[in-house]
Amino acid sequence: MVFLKDGELASPGEPICVTEEYMPGENVRLDKGGVVVSILRGKVSYDHERRIVRVEPLKLVEKLKVGDKVLVEVKEVQDKIAIANILSINGRLVKHPKTAVILPNPGMKKTMDQYVGIGDLVVASVVTTFMGIIGLSIWRQDLGVVLARCNKCSGMLKKVRKRLICVRCGKGEKRKIVPQYGSIAYLISIMG
Binding site for Zn ion (CB under 5 A): 150, 152-153, 155, 166, 168-169, 171
For the bound state, the minimum distance from the C-beta of residue 148 to Zn ion, rounded and expressed in Å, comes to: 11
How far from 156 is each of 17, 25, 98, 166, 173, CA to CA, in Å?
37, 36, 24, 6, 11
Q: What is the Cα–Cα distance from 15 to 18, expressed in whole angstroms?
A: 8
For the bound state, the minimum distance from the C-beta of residue 185 to Zn ion, rounded and expressed in Å, comes to: 25
Which CB atom, from 26 or from 113, has the smaller least distance to Zn ion?
113
Which CB atom, from 134 or from 157, has the smaller least distance to Zn ion?
157
Q: What is the Cα–Cα distance from 49 to 101, expressed in whole angstroms?
A: 26
For the bound state, the minimum distance from the C-beta of residue 161 to Zn ion, rounded and expressed in Å, comes to: 18
For the bound state, the minimum distance from the C-beta of residue 121 to Zn ion, rounded and expressed in Å, comes to: 17
Which CB atom, from 118 or from 126, has the smaller least distance to Zn ion?
118
**Of the candidates 182, 185, 63, 189, the residue with the CA atom closest to the CA atom of residue 126:** 63
Q: What is the Cα–Cα distance from 55 to 6, expressed in whole angstroms?
A: 10
Which CB atom, from 66 or from 169, has the smaller least distance to Zn ion?
169
Beta bridge partners of 164: 159, 173
Which CB atom, from 108 or from 153, has the smaller least distance to Zn ion?
153
**Of the candidates 159, 156, 157, 155, the residue with the CA atom closest to the CA atom of residue 180:** 159
Which CB atom, from 93 or from 169, has the smaller least distance to Zn ion?
169
Helix then strand then coil, % of the chain, to nearest 5: 10, 45, 45
For the bound state, the minimum distance from the C-beta of residue 147 to Zn ion, rounded and expressed in Å, comes to: 14
For the bound state, the minimum distance from the C-beta of residue 73 to Zn ion, rounded and expressed in Å, comes to: 18
Question: Which ranges of the chain does DSSP label H, i.e. alpha helix?
Answer: 58-62, 184-191
